[in-house]
Copies of this chain bind each other. A is one copy, B any other.
Amino acid sequence: MFQEVLRDMVERTDGAIASLLMGFDGIPVDSYNTAADALNVESVGSEYGAVLGQIKQAANMLELGSAQEVSVQAANMTTVIRLLNDEYFVALALRPAGNVGKARYLLRLRAPELLQALS
């Protein structure tokens, strides 16, 4: 079920390369990767996941409410991350010209399904 959602999000987003469902402890639940020269999506998730934990804490401390989404645009890749609950997040990696708006929309749309299947 995870694989189906992860693949569908990548296929429906222009410029998407990979998707990943991961725990904040850096342990992947499942991932989907289109890149022949396999981008190490799990390394990316694990590094960003560690930072995400700190963003969650900062947002709470600053009374901005719970963090819901983080996106990072680097020269060679854009990563959009949706926080599912206190344990898991789901991420989409895109080429720089990829459709970030669509990525954000699909992550928000499919989050409840993933969350339900995780619990």
Contact = CB atoms under 8 A, between A and B. Distances in A.
Interface of A: 40, 43-44, 47-48, 50-51, 54-55, 58-59, 61-77, 79, 101
Nearest to A75: B65
9 contacts: A47-B61, A50-B54, A51-B51, A63-B76, A64-B74, A64-B79, A65-B75, A67-B74, A71-B71
How many chain copies? Answer: 2
B58 A47 contact: yes
Contacts of A101: 101
A77 B65 contact: yes
Nearest to A108: B73
Contacts of A54: 50-51, 54
Contacts of A73: 67-70
B71 A70 contact: yes
Contacts of A79: 64
B64 A75 contact: yes
Given A70-B70, A70-B72, A64 B51 contact: no
A74 B64 CA distance: 6
Contact of A58 (B48, B63, B66): B48
